[in-house]
Amino acid sequence: MPLKFSREEYSCRLEKLRRLMDRNGLDAVVVTNHQNVNYFAGITSILAGIAGGYGTVRPLIVVLPKKLEPTNIVQFTDEGNARANSWISDVRSWVNLPFHHQPLESVLRDKGLDRGKIGMELSREFHLAIPYSSFQSLKEALPDAQFLDAADLIWELRMIKSAAEVELIRSAARITAQALHENLPRVEIGMSERQIANKIGRSLLQHGADKFNYVSAIAGEGTYEQFCRLPTDREVREGELVWCDLSAIYRDYCSDMSSFAVVGGATEAHRKFIEIARDVHLAMVDFIRPGVRACDVMFHVKDSYRKAGLDWNFDIGRCGHGIGLELAEQPSLDDNSTVMLEPGMTLALEPAILTQNGVYDMEEDVVVTEAGCEVLAPVWPR
């Protein structure tokens, strides 16, 4: 069975990680987060990848030493999966439930890492996908080992996408844009938020998405500040703005996009904010280029709204973020991020404005290029 990426690409990821280990004084990195396991080993699993489900019941673990060969540690139900779909040939399996730290302890001892400095996913939007009690037991079993945070090292690699990764994200974005373009103009008076979201969700699958993270639809005065809630049975009325936010998944890679339509046509009150939001968004696209700090993008968006006579009020802590194996990952385009944008970074841009009559956001996904940035699938009219 062919791998999702070439062996050379996976090997390159490991070699880059090893250079970062050497720079940071680590002897190994152990990953348990499903997306990190996917990134370094190429394994995905219906058992380990369900948030709140099997994630900590049958975890997938990858041990990535600085000098020795890497090892996959899986529950026996995923052993065949790991042997068939990972580039890593050393696969160790365990059987008994509940999960116990012993299989990981055994591999670390086998590799002489029981006195080593071991990096794990301890911060920066990661979490361990093994129970905390198991992590504590591991530390007690290996008192001479040091367990340190490796989140920054992992993000340093994952933030820069290969050409093959960019193409998967581009496909996810195209599917998402197509579903929005086809379905939002067809929203009618009397349709419920849930009906609209379900219609767009079916369209994502019909156009090639493997699945989706979510599809949201909200409409009506007094609801727009609830922009993170799930759609309801509330019916859309004439003159209301319907805002849809969604994330499709294609070959494990995510889009994160949004768009809106006004049922019966936009009023002057709508058009004012549509034009301002569009101008700020397009100016943001033009501003993004290699060498710009992530925080400077946030400052630019705020300044653009000020020049238009508005205070930016879509205060979600940032105006955009990375996308990839997760729908929201590093870099974060916020006031505090000093990350320098580089070619290969893929970003979701959402410099929205929030009012009583709408969320004015047509979120687009872009990739930073040598010359600036490219919109992967346009949503805003140009």
pLDDT tens, 51-83? 554 556 889 999 999 999 999 999 999 999 999
Say yes or no to pLDDT of 189 above 90.
yes
- Averaged pLDDT for residues 91-116: 95
pLDDT of amino acid 263: 96
User: Which of these, 176, 267, 256, 262, lies nearest to 219 by C-alpha position?
Assistant: 262
Q: Say whether 354 sits in a helix, a strand or coil.
A: strand
Same domain, 47 and 187: no
Alpha-carbon radius of gyration of the chain = 23
Q: What is the CATH number of the domain that holds 365?
A: 3.90.230.10
Q: What is the CATH number of the domain that holds 74?
A: 3.40.350.10
Give the integer Cα–Cα distance in Å for 302 and 280.
9
pLDDT of amino acid 371: 95
Same domain, 212 and 146: no
pLDDT tens, 284-320? 999 999 999 999 999 999 999 999 999 888 878 899 9
DSSP of 134-165: HHHHHHHH-TT-EEEE-HHHHHHHHTB--HHH
Range of the domain at 34: 7-158
- Of the two residues 166 and 98, the one the predictor is more confident about is 166
Q: Look at strands 28-31 and 253-254 and give their pairing.
A: unpaired
The model's confidence at residue 341, banded by pLDDT at 50, 70 and 90, is very high
pLDDT of amino acid 58: 86
Distances (CA, A) of 225 to 80, 164, 211, 362: 47, 37, 27, 16
pLDDT of amino acid 315: 78
**Is position 283 within any domain?**
yes
pLDDT of amino acid 49: 56
User: Which of these, 331, 306, 327, lies nearest to 318 by C-alpha position?
Assistant: 331
- Averaged pLDDT for residues 273-281: 96
Least confident of 2-6, 275-279, 349-353: 2-6
pLDDT of amino acid 382: 84
**Is position 2 within any domain?**
no
Could you say which of 112, 142, 158 is where a domain stops?
A: 158
Same domain, 137 and 218: no
- The residue type of 176 is T
Could you say which of 158, 184, 216 is where a domain stops?
A: 158
Q: What are phi and psi of 102, to 5 degrees?
A: -55, -40
Same domain, 100 and 239: no
The tally of domains found in the chain comes to 2
Cis omega (within 30 of 0) for bond into 98:
yes
pLDDT of amino acid 48: 65
Distances (CA, A) of 48 to 34, 57, 328: 7, 8, 19
Give the integer Cα–Cα distance in Å for 33 and 151.
11
Cis omega (within 30 of 0) for bond into 331:
yes
Same domain, 124 and 180: no
Q: What is the mean pLDDT of the chain?
A: 95
pLDDT of amino acid 50: 59
**Is position 382 within any domain?**
no
pLDDT of amino acid 141: 98
Could you say which of 158, 186, 221 is where a domain stops?
A: 158
Give the integer Cα–Cα distance in Å for 232 and 220.
12
- Averaged pLDDT for residues 121-142: 94
Give the integer Cα–Cα distance in Å for 131 and 141.
15
Distances (CA, A) of 36 to 40, 66, 145: 6, 17, 22
